[in-house]
């Protein structure tokens, strides 16, 4: 799956995966930067709380974005049939920024996947609308999504469960709550299937602000771990026994703090 085709002379929208547990009370560093990108006081933020089964998730983000200024609203998309409603699609089309909340990423993929809403989000992002997602919402922005897996430092044959994502980019796999939940092993497992893409593990209260040119900047209190398998010379995944530890030779790892950048096209990391 490739990202949707953009209209000529229109920059793609930014893609902002957030590692979860972003600051919602104090400086609002990540949320306010997304709000500014989406138009500031002219912003119209559309929140999709599908991944969460908590009734207050949507209203809470509405309150946060309206506290910053501009307008915000949430849409209830709890069943696949909701994704076929003209009313829901109409609200998406009026947004300057789309925010996908955390929760269970399999709820996102099974409810949104392949529907008019998913296709519309791809098209809107290709044509200039910014899309942010936190936690589960971060995982689904890419073509290949980590749906689950084991914690721990070692990649294993059964270390990651994969599912299709929205496909806003096909150059990355995203994992979230990264250091807090010790997920480097499952990110490496996911990358062992195909070294075409880079993996980014995003700490809590941290985000990758990916610009239309494919360069992201680290924003927030934590770090982003980039695992680049471009120079992988050996993977034992193809013949590993069930639950066996994997041998992966040649992976490159970068740890990037706030302000550091990474080009997902050239796979180059920059200190600032």
Q: What is the pLDDT of residues 183-199, one digit of tens each?
A: 999 999 999 988 899 99
Interior angle at CA 207, CA 202 and CA 211, nearest 5: 120
Q: Specify the pLDDT at position 154.
A: 98
pLDDT confidence band for 67 (50 / 70 / 90): very high
pLDDT confidence band for 10 (50 / 70 / 90): confident
What are the sequence ranges of the domains in the chain?
15-270
Q: Specify the pLDDT at position 219.
A: 98
Confidence check: pLDDT of 1 > 80: no
Q: Specify the pLDDT at position 70.
A: 87
Q: What is the pLDDT of residues 96-125, one digit of tens each?
A: 999 999 999 999 999 999 999 999 999 999
Which run of H or of E encompasses 184? helix 184-192
Confidence check: pLDDT of 236 > 90: yes
Confidence check: pLDDT of 9 > 80: no
Helix residue ranges, H only, 113-156: 116-126, 136-139
Q: What is the pLDDT of residues 161-217, one digit of tens each?
A: 999 999 999 999 999 999 999 999 999 999 998 889 999 999 999 999 999 999 999
Tell me the mean pLDDT in the region 257-266. Answer: 98
pLDDT confidence band for 235 (50 / 70 / 90): very high
Q: Which two tokens stand for residue 245?
A: 């530890």
Helix residue ranges, H only, 22-68: 29-37, 57-68
| Residue whose tokens read 């992976």 | 251
Q: Specify the pLDDT at position 194.
A: 80
What is the overall mean pLDDT for the chain?
A: 96
Query: What DSSP designation does 156 have?
Result: B
Nearest CA-CA partner of 139 in 182, 116, 109: 109
Q: Specify the pLDDT at position 2.
A: 65
Q: Is the dihedral of CA 161, 193, 122, 80 positive or negative?
A: negative
pLDDT confidence band for 4 (50 / 70 / 90): confident
Q: d(Cα 100, Cα 133) in Å, to the nearest integer? A: 4
Percentage of the residues of the chain whose pLDDT score is greater than 90? 94
CATH 3.30.70.20 fits 15-270, yes or no: no
Sheet holding 172-176, edge to edge: 172-176, 198-202, 224-228, 252-256
Cβ atoms of 31 and 45 closer than 8 Å: no
Q: Specify the pLDDT at position 7.
A: 64
Residues assigned a catalytic role: 135, 177, 204
Q: Which two tokens stand for residue 219?
A: 């924003």
Q: Specify the pLDDT at position 8.
A: 64
């Amino acid at each position: 799956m490739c990202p949707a085709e953009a209209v000529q002379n229109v920059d793609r929208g930014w893609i902002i995966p957030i590692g979860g547990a972003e600051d919602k009370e104090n400086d609002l560093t990540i949320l306010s930067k997304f709000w500014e990108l989406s138009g500031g006081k002219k912003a119209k933020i559309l929140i999709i709380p599908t991944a969460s089964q908590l009734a207050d998730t949507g209203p809470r983000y509405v309150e946060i974005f309206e506290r910053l200024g501009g307008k915000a609203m949430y849409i209830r998309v709890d069943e696949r049939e909701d994704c076929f409603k003209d009313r829901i699609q109409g609200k998406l089309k009026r947004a300057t920024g789309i925010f996908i909340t955390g929760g269970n990423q399999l709820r996102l993929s099974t409810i949104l996947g392949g529907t008019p809403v998913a296709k519309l989000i791809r098209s809107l992002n290709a044509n200039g609308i910014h899309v942010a997602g936190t936690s589960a919402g971060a995982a689904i922005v890419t073509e290949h999504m980590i749906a689950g897996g084991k914690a721990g430092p070692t990649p294993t044959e059964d270390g990651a469960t994969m599912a299709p994502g929205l496909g806003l980019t096909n150059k990355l796999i995203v994992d979230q709550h990264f250091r807090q939940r010790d997920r480097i092993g499952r990110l490496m497992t996911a990358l062992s299937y195909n070294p075409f893409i880079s993996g980014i593990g995003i700490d809590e209260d941290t985000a990758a602000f990916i610009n239309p040119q494919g360069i992201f900047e680290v924003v927030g209190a934590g770090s982003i771990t980039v695992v680049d398998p471009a120079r992988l010379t050996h993977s034992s995944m193809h013949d590993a026994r069930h639950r066996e530890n994997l041998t992966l030779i040649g992976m490159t790892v970068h740890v990037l703090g706030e302000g550091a950048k990474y080009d997902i096209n050239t796979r180059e990391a920059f200190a600032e």
